[in-house]
Amino acid sequence: MVHPDDLSRLLASVEDALAGRRPFLIDHRICLPDGSIRYVHERAEVVRDERGHPLRLVGTMQDITERKQAEARQKLLIDELNHRVKNTLATVQSLAAQTARGTDTPEEFRQAFEGRLIALSQAHDQLTRRHWQSADLRDIVTGATGPHLSHPQEQLRLEGEAITVSPRIALTLALVLHEMTTNAAKYGALSLHEGRIEISWLVEPRPTKSSLLHIEWRERNGPSVEAPARPGFGSRFIQGSVTAELRGTVRMDFDPDGLRCVIDIPLDPVGDEQPPQAT
């Protein structure tokens, strides 16, 4: 019944116990007649005759399958946590470096960096509620724009189907939308009481590649817009994040009536790069 991969270890433990080198104590697998595999814990003492010769092993065998499964799940969770923590720290390090390059004073750095950390934290909360499998796009949008809106029902209009996105897209979009909302509050539509933002999205199927998430940002009733002489830090951050992190594209139209920004993101960029399967 002993699993073939554990047999040599079990026999070595029996030999050591009979020779008096160490107690017999071992965990190993057994194969049941129905094909299932169980983990057992064995411990025993050697019974010897008056001359010290071993006669038999007397002990117990305990089924510890549930404990082993729990340990395996715990290890998996710890490994996943370590992976996420490393990714999060890398993201924070990148945010700090980019924020430092885009600000001139410690106070500017504090405000900008703190806002981005809050946006990242809110996205983490939304992903945690879904066990880090996906996030609702509408929740990501409202979470990223909410802190800058005093009257959300009047200042924000959302239009789009219910869609969930991967953690990578959720985190990057949260930072991008936070950046755009911050810029709108400083220089754009949200800098005026009557200003508002319209955000819409849809998923566009593509014949040979993964579907494309199409997001459109539009500012209305704000101050007149002029194209900047050169891209500011916020624009570079948005462009770089979408391009590098999501392999998407960003188009900004500095219409005098209000900024218009179009973001296109492949929902499965890794899959798009895989070679087609032979048929």
How much is the pLDDT for 265? Answer: 95
Q: How far is CA 121 from the centre of its chain?
A: 12
How much is the pLDDT for 270? Answer: 66
pLDDT digits (tens, 9 = 90+) for 59-115: 999 999 999 999 998 988 788 777 777 777 777 777 787 778 777 888 888 887 888
Q: H/E element holding 231? A: none
Q: How far is CA 34 from CA 31, 41, 72, 169, in A?
A: 8, 20, 23, 45
The domains of the chain, with CATH numbers, are 4-63 (3.30.450.20), 70-273 (3.30.565.10)
How much is the pLDDT for 112? Answer: 77
8 Å CB contact between 64 and 81: no
Residue type, 185: A
How much is the pLDDT for 126? Answer: 82
Tokens 């194969």 correspond to 31
Residue type, 221: N
Low-confidence ranges of the chain (pLDDT < 50): 278-279
- 86: CB partners within 8 A, 6+ apart: none
Tokens 């509408």 correspond to 138
* Dihedral angle over CA of 147, 138, 222, 234, nearest 10: 70
- Exposure of 138 by Cβ count < 10 A (0-12 exposed, 13-18 middle, 19+ buried)? middle
How much is the pLDDT for 200? Answer: 97
How much is the pLDDT for 215? Answer: 97
